[in-house]
Amino acid sequence: MDLKQLLNKEQYEAVCHKDGPLLILAGAGSGKTRVITYRIANLISAYGVEPGHILAVTFTNKAAGEMKERIRSVIGKKAEEIWMSTFHSLGCRLLRQHADVLGYTKAFSIYDEDDRERLVKECMHQAKVSDKDMKPNQIIRYISDIKNQLLSPAQFEEIASDYNNKIVSRVYGIYEEKMKRNNAMDFDDLIKKPIELFDARRDILDAYREKFRYILIDEYQDINNSQYTLVSMLAEKYRNICVVGDDDQSIYRFRGADITNILEFEDDYKDAKVIRLEQNYRSTKNILRAAHSVIRNNKGRKDKELWTENNEGGKIVFYYTDDEIAESEAVLHEVDRLMRVSDVSLRQMAVFYRTNAQSRVIEDRFRRAGLPYKLVGGISFYGRMEIKDLLAYLRIVSNPHDIISFKRIINVPPRGIGDASIDRVEENAMEKGISFIDGLLDAASVADIKDSVKNTLVRFGTFIKHLHDNKSNMKLQDIMKEIISRTGYLEYWMKDTSVKARDRVENIKELVSALSEYEEGNAGASLEDFLNQVALISDVDKMDDKAEAVTLMTIHSAKGLEFDVVFLTGMDEGLFPHKNSIDEPGGIEEERRLAYVGITRARKKLYLFSAVSRRQYGTKKLGQISRYINEIPPELLEHKGRMPVKTVEEKYLKGSIEDTISDMEPEFDMPVDVAPTYKPGQKVKHKKMGAGVIVKIEPHGDDFKLTVNFKAHGKKVLSANHAGLEKI
């Protein structure tokens, strides 16, 4: 393996670095995956490092799988010994081995957001907190932030001073108690609990420090405080930590990501070697120029500028459309044209948007046109109601303490068991210190429950206990088949004649196939292994790269991906940058990094879209072109559709009214609820001042202020209702 032939100078330097801390500042499209792959392979083949002494952490299972496959192609079967996973998969793996130290069993459940919300609602009820005080999803966000700060309920209670924090403190304590009782972890726990484990058992920490002598962390700019702490603990002994990232692509602050982790790496490790990867292999020169012209406006960044030996490429196409419908039709038109004229495949095209809600109009237009698309971030197979029901059955077979899963399916299909009866069983179980499943078996001793209901509860508990006791001797698909058969779940949906029910029946059958397929590909895998995989899979992990369809996704989901053609829609002030970010400290810079990520996903062609107006809550509102478009030099842009007002003004001032373009549109200063009668760029005539062009419209109470550039009198501001303008 001649690395000098395979890598550029900086890549080679990064790959050959052996001991000590290393910071690789890898710009978009600079070959960072290639560098990580060859670095790991080189550590093993050239330096004799045992594969089992290497820990590599990525942000998606998809990336981890692809990277391991690449390494396997270089060094063979030894690649299997490398610990390569996401942060959450790493935490899960550690906890499956040592959960008992923290008072959990190794069969703990992993709660998703739906499960957390169900539990938080229970905790709020117990804490006498109304959703008028705080919404459950707000409390969930607070709890995530608290866990990221590594605070226990008692520690948080001490510092909780304002109204919201005190409310959250009451709920948080109950939430943690119930999570422990349910033998359950949430996603934040998968990072926080290993840290608690290492704090409690220094010998376990020392063992893993000895094991992980070389640590590589990808996307380091996106790690949060708890992830930073976990990595720091593991790296402390050997300090052979290599982090790869790009501060310009830090876009997950809403998840707790802290950009200072990468900006201050050299403070944490004074002897760190820093290598910059600035040669881009992905995009054209024009795309990179546009990206740099945007990101250079950020103050909190390390100085760097990507360059490429790729061709100039075409200009960035800027579409300024009437509304979101016209925007989606323009996207559809360009997709069709690129297919026919340029022979671009559908799978090499992607449409990005800032929020998931924006996809509706685009999806609608694609469906009408019969154009294939795949939606990333929609309801996945494992997120469908019937699949989540059956997974809940599997979870209680694995973990009989999981009350949330019990409650989800105790009446699915309907068994005539009321909430009051379930509450009494739970109370009895808590009083006797037994699991919920043992509580079901003990239902006969519970007062205030009908005998028929008691019998049903005992039968259900007996069935689940039978599966739990025999799960290690049964195939996964057989467990599921018995659940479906004994509960009548499939029959229940087959009796329903609706189209939706037919889809559910097919999905149920597909789940059995999925279990069979999983067993074939993972010999000796347990029920817990399967549940781990399902719980930890992300939207990007589920993408079908080979499907001949246009990809629709948020820009956040597009991180790490690339396409020949990218359509970046909804670039309006208030939408992108999002209105929630504008007044937040660092919000505009975070959104600008997001724009940078979106731009740099494009290999050959980039389209940007903004609209004069968009419908919000059923009402059309005028908008303003995103500042990020205005940061791109005009010579890099090719305009299509309408044109911004500054072009109108510049053109008018240099020539005559006859030289202006009548359909040009302005940058509006603020949104308004109702479009005025007059149109920006429209020619008008005034009784005294003569001919002119409307260059700006601003709301003014129940009226509108019109800025009109008159040929004889210059710019004047007039009332739309009282100006008496005549349209030319």
Q: Which residues are catalytic?
A: 32-33, 218-219, 249, 601
Q: Please, what sign has the CA dihedral across residues 599, 600, 603, 604?
A: positive
Cα separation, 438 vs 419, in Å, equals 18
Local structure of residue 413 (DSSP, 8 states): S
Closest CA to 318 of 592, 647, 680: 647
Cα separation, 188 vs 180, in Å, equals 14
In 623-725, where do the E strands start and end? 637-641, 683-686, 690-700, 703-710, 714-719
Query: Cβ distance 629 to 320 under 8 Å?
Result: no
Query: Cβ distance 312 to 285 under 8 Å?
Result: yes
Local structure of residue 290 (DSSP, 8 states): H
Q: What are phi and psi of 273, to 5 degrees?
A: -90, 135
Cα separation, 714 vs 711, in Å, equals 6
Q: Please, what sign has the CA dihedral across residues 100, 229, 541, 387?
A: positive
Residue 380, SS3 per DSSP:
coil
Q: At what angle do helices 113-126 and 163-181 cross, to 10 degrees?
A: 110
DSSP characters for 211-230? Answer: H-SEEEESSGGG-BHHHHHH
∠ CA 218-222-228, rounded to 5°:
80
Q: What are phi and psi of 500, to 5 degrees?
A: -60, -40
Q: Which residues contact 401 (CB under 8 A, 6 or more apart)?
A: 105, 181, 182, 183, 184, 435, 436, 437
Cα separation, 371 vs 581, in Å, equals 34
Strand partners, 574: 578
Cα separation, 331 vs 475, in Å, equals 48
Cα separation, 18 vs 240, in Å, equals 8
Residue 425 belongs to what H/E stretch? helix 419-432
Closest CA to 568 of 350, 382, 386: 350
Query: Cβ distance 608 to 629 under 8 Å?
Result: yes
Residue type, 651: K
